[in-house]
Amino acid sequence: MRKPFICGNWKMYKTIAEAVSFIAEAKPLVAGASGVEIGIGAPATALKALADAAKGTNIQIGGENCHWEKEGAFTGEIAPGMLVEAGCSFVIIGHSERRQYFAETNETVNKRVRAALANGLTVIMCCGETLGEREAGKMRAVVADHVKNGLAGLSAADMAKIVIAYEPVWAIGTGKTATPEQAQEVHAIIRGILAEMFGKNVADATRIQYGGSVKPENVKEIMAQPDVDGALVGGASLKADSFAKLVNFGA
């Protein structure tokens, strides 16, 4: 009932030319993956060219952040409507790198989420604890804080366009993956929080991706967990053949 969603997060990698040639290479490799939703989150400069190159394929393009205002004096920011105009169908919001390096808070995450939804974008909202928080026994509290405050004020209907990405900070870009059991434990906790907030039907229908050093070698066992509905992938999404292996995890 929940269609798996495999999404790349390219972070600050790839020129326009590199992005377009990725699509040319990936297109035939993922064309047969009908049971999976496929996305690439990319730097703003490449979005329009990527969306044009991906037209007519099963690959969706998304931004890696967006502001909550329609326009204004916000140097360096990008409005949700601008992402839509560039051909994006989704946006990643609240990634731990945004929280860690760019002072993103639950409050700004929530504003960005609402603005993205108002512009018709699907939102991948990230949450996850640091190693210190996990070791201090705060994993549950941190994840609940991110999810509850990030989704504050949303309706059950809004949740149709929300995807949650659970990304333990200690597993991002470190090569250290959460075990499938650790991922499942937190995903079940998140689904419980969604049930409290929006009811069981919404919780059961919402996709929860895992992110943190997912690669072709471990994607299958992570995806086999009952509450894992996809993956948000940084490093292993940068090469077309590796990305295609992730997308085709079930083949």
Residues 6+ apart with CB under 8 A from 140: 189
Which residue reads 């929300």 in tokens? 162
Q: Does 246 bind ligand PEP (CB under 6 A)?
A: no
Other Cβ atoms within 10 Å of 236 Cβ, number:
19
Residue nearest to ligand PEP (CB): 234
To ligand PEP, the closest distance from the beta carbon of 157 in angstroms equals: 27
> Between residues 80 and 230, which has the closer beta carbon with respect to ligand PEP?
230
What whole-number distance in Å separates Cα of residue 122 and Cα of residue 90?
A: 4
Find out whether 66 and 96 touch, Cβ atoms under 8 Å.
no
How far apart are the C-alpha atoms of 199 and 197, rounded to whole Å?
6
- How near is the Cβ of 218 to ligand PEP at its closest, in Å? 11
Question: For residue 230, what is the enclosing H or E element?
Answer: strand 230-233
* Stretch binding ligand PEP (CB under 6 A), from 71-79, 131-139, 143-151, 233-241: 233-241
Contact with ligand PEP (CB under 6 A): which of 193, 233, 244, 246?
A: 233
CB proximity list for 8: less than 8 A, separation 6 or greater: 39, 40, 41, 42, 233, 234, 237, 238, 243
Structural tokens at position 212: 């943190």
Active-site hit among 37, 64, 95, 187: 95
Active site residue 187: no
By CB under 6 A, is residue 214 in contact with ligand PEP? Answer: yes
Instruction: Give the separation between CA 94 and CA 241, rounded to whole angstroms.
Output: 28
Nearer to ligand PEP, 202 or 246 (CB): 246
Q: Does 213 bind ligand PEP (CB under 6 A)?
A: yes
Q: Which of 62, 94, 212, 230 binds ligand PEP (CB under 6 A)?
A: 212
Looking at beta carbons only, is 228 or 233 nearer to ligand PEP? 233
CA dihedral sign of residues 160, 227, 153, 38: negative
Task: Tell me the two tokens of residue 192.
Answer: 């419980």
Q: What is the dihedral of CA 224, 113, 156, 189, to 10 degrees?
A: 40
Which of residues 64, 104, 129, 167 is near ligand PEP by CB under 6 A? 167
Number of residues that bind ligand PEP (CB under 6 A): 14
Asked if 146 is an active-site residue, the reply is no
**Rule CB under 6 A: is residue 40 a binding residue for ligand PEP?**
no
Among 30, 40, 169, 172, binds ligand PEP (CB under 6 A): 172
Q: Is 108 in the site for ligand PEP (CB under 6 A)?
A: no
Cβ pair 165, 127 in contact under 8 A: yes
Contact footprint for ligand PEP (CB under 6 A): 9, 11, 167, 172-173, 211-214, 232-236
For the annotated catalytic residues, the residue numbers are 95, 167
